[in-house]
Chains A and B, each alone.
Chain A
């Protein structure tokens, strides 16, 4: 469904509702309240807002201190800086010390496509995934962002969330569905091949599944909103039942969703796997759609890849 509400705005709306009930919820920003769409929160709850200025290491340390004192801080800062500039604070002050800090990386992936590699966050899943104890979530649309924000307010523990800058087409019709941290959502059943997306690539997987269906191929679509802890069961079931997997991510092909899925199936149920993402190079400049098209993150390309996988499978029999 067409939609003009970006996920960051959906998160702000959810946080406003939550903050009304829970005075311990706090939002932090590093000269980023506008880019995080948090200005309405700041206006309504100035006492539950902390501005740190352009200081991403500091913002994570301050959040850890607040959490230590019983606050529930949501740090909203561009994903590229929050995940990399402050990674040691994330490792030591958040994960190692087990503080209840929610790190919200905004404008993630290639949202800032023409601003270059300094502004892309295409390594954030890889680095945060290697840190023990962190939960990692990429919501797929505004409905999921809302569900996730509500779940996070109740969840204890360090979390890294990544959301994009622009509105994404809905993948859910409403927020009337079961969202559980760590549990993949089966968006569509199918037994010929499985497409696994995370965050904003779930939409592409759904579009590709439709094309596949027209070509007579039944694709299962998994929304792997939680990268850690990973829903291994859903992945193993997909491998066993569909025997071919394609993963899609707005991330380096190293260390992200595809790598995580590969780790699971190679030790449990090896099947052919194609990892779609950004290759090991500074991503080309451009708008998100242009960059996605350049690297084959499109429904048409997934159609082709999945068709080949299914054909190879049939020939093997």
Chain B
């Protein structure tokens, strides 16, 4: 099976897992989690240097979920990779749990506690700066929301990242064009986003955030420019993969009911089956 096919199947599985998680806890950020499942799958299963058996391995690449509210995809991926037992997912958001509704660094695999928007990039700048000072080769990946771009602290960190020429720092903006109150351009316009980041001294790329070929190609090539941090705008769909949740602002934190869960899992399973079938056909023809 090709890497891309594997990633496609994996991200469909993670989507189903996170929907079940949100459904059982009756809370969660469905839309934003579905929106960033593909980039997280690409990073954790293919791009990042990391080892679930040694979560604090000094040479590991770092990932910071600055949009910490989309933690459900992260919990499912970390459990799937063995950072903690899968059974623990059942405690998500329950009394006394460590698997709360935001990243919590008491859990192996989580570097920093996030959840208040606009913190992640500055933390990532600090980590990338430390790597440079210690002559370490690890990279720092930081995922932000597009609504989050309204926080001034994002731009303070952007300035610092360029100032210190942190080319092993890679920022992402999950450009799904929605935040809680609606379209980002109605709530607080952030366009032209690419030119803003360029003006702040970053090397900017735009990709389809759900296209694994494009994601892999882009991420395998970073940094394309030495002495500059990279900002990748992921053009995505909020609620991706669940027809009735796609592009619907309410699904930011809507929780699927029994029927919606059944429908959603059905859609994801059908998508997996189609991929498997295409793969089989290709195998027979090749």
Interface residues of A (CB under 8 A from B): 29, 31-35, 51-55, 57-58, 80-81, 85, 112, 114-119, 284-287, 290, 294
Q: Given contacts A31-B150, A116-B101, could you give 15 more A-B pairs where the C-beta distance is less than 8 Å?
A: A52-B150, A54-B117, A54-B150, A80-B116, A114-B27, A114-B94, A115-B115, A116-B115, A119-B101, A284-B95, A284-B96, A285-B93, A285-B95, A285-B98, A286-B94
Q: Are B116 and A118 in contact (CB under 8 A)?
A: yes
With both beta carbons as reference points, the residue of chain B lying nearest to A53 in the complex is identified as B188
Q: Are A286 and B96 in contact (CB under 8 A)?
A: yes
Q: Are B147 and A54 in contact (CB under 8 A)?
A: yes
Would you list which residues of chain B between 118 and 162 have a CB under 8 Å from chain A?
118, 147-148, 150-152
Q: Are A116 and B151 in contact (CB under 8 A)?
A: no
Q: Are A118 and B115 in contact (CB under 8 A)?
A: yes
Taking the closest CB of chain B, its distance from the CB of A20, in whole angstroms, is 24
Would you list which residues of chain B between 62 and 91 have a CB under 8 Å from chain A?
68
Q: Are A32 and B180 in contact (CB under 8 A)?
A: yes
- Docked Cα-Cα span, A119 to B102, in Å, equals 9
Q: Which of B27, B116, B181 contacts A29 (CB 8 A)?
A: B181
B95: which A residues are within 8 A, CB to CB? 284-287, 290, 294
Q: Are A114 and B152 in contact (CB under 8 A)?
A: no
A29: which B residues are within 8 A, CB to CB? 181
Taking the closest CB of chain B, its distance from the CB of A232, in whole angstroms, is 35
Taking the closest CB of chain B, its distance from the CB of A296, in whole angstroms, is 15
Kindly state whether residue B53 has any CB partner on chain A within 8 Å.
Answer: no
Binary interface encoding of chain B residues 100-124 relative to chain A, with 1 for a CB under 8 A from any of its CBs, else 0: 1110100000000111111000000
Taking the closest CB of chain A, its distance from the CB of B249, in whole angstroms, is 9
With both beta carbons as reference points, the residue of chain B lying nearest to A118 in the complex is identified as B115
Interface residues of B (CB under 8 A from A): 25, 27, 68, 93-98, 100-102, 104, 113-118, 147-148, 150-152, 179-181, 184, 187-188
Q: Are A118 and B68 in contact (CB under 8 A)?
A: yes
In the complex with contacts A34-B180, A115-B101, A53-B147 CB distance below 8 A: yes
In the complex with contacts A29-B181, A31-B180, A285-B95, A55-B188 CB distance below 8 A: yes
A sample of 13 inter-chain contacts (CB < 8 A) reads A29-B181, A31-B187, A34-B180, A53-B188, A57-B152, A58-B150, A114-B97, A116-B100, A118-B115, A119-B101, A119-B116, A285-B96, A286-B95
Q: Are A31 and B181 in contact (CB under 8 A)?
A: yes
- Docked Cα-Cα span, A81 to B69, in Å, equals 15
A285: which B residues are within 8 A, CB to CB? 93-98, 100
Closest 8 CB pairs of A and B: A53-B188, A53-B150, A118-B115, A286-B95, A114-B93, A115-B101, A116-B100, A118-B116
With both beta carbons as reference points, the residue of chain B lying nearest to A115 in the complex is identified as B101
With both beta carbons as reference points, the residue of chain B lying nearest to A85 in the complex is identified as B116
Which has the most chain B C-beta neighbours within 10 Å: A32, A81, A285, A287? A285
In the complex with contacts A54-B151, A57-B152, A33-B181 CB distance below 8 A: yes
Q: Are A118 and B102 in contact (CB under 8 A)?
A: yes
Q: Are B187 and A53 in contact (CB under 8 A)?
A: yes
- Docked Cα-Cα span, A35 to B27, in Å, equals 15
Taking the closest CB of chain B, its distance from the CB of A63, in whole angstroms, is 16
A51: which B residues are within 8 A, CB to CB? 181, 187-188
- Docked Cα-Cα span, A116 to B25, in Å, equals 15
Taking the closest CB of chain A, its distance from the CB of B111, in whole angstroms, is 15
Taking the closest CB of chain B, its distance from the CB of A132, in whole angstroms, is 26
Q: Which of B114, B181, B187 contacts A118 (CB 8 A)?
A: B114
In the complex with contacts A118-B68, A285-B93, A286-B95, A31-B115 CB distance below 8 A: no
Q: Are A55 and B97 in contact (CB under 8 A)?
A: no
B118: which A residues are within 8 A, CB to CB? 54
With both beta carbons as reference points, the residue of chain A lying nearest to B114 in the complex is identified as A118
Taking the closest CB of chain B, its distance from the CB of A293, in whole angstroms, is 9
With both beta carbons as reference points, the residue of chain A lying nearest to B101 in the complex is identified as A115
With both beta carbons as reference points, the residue of chain A lying nearest to B184 in the complex is identified as A53
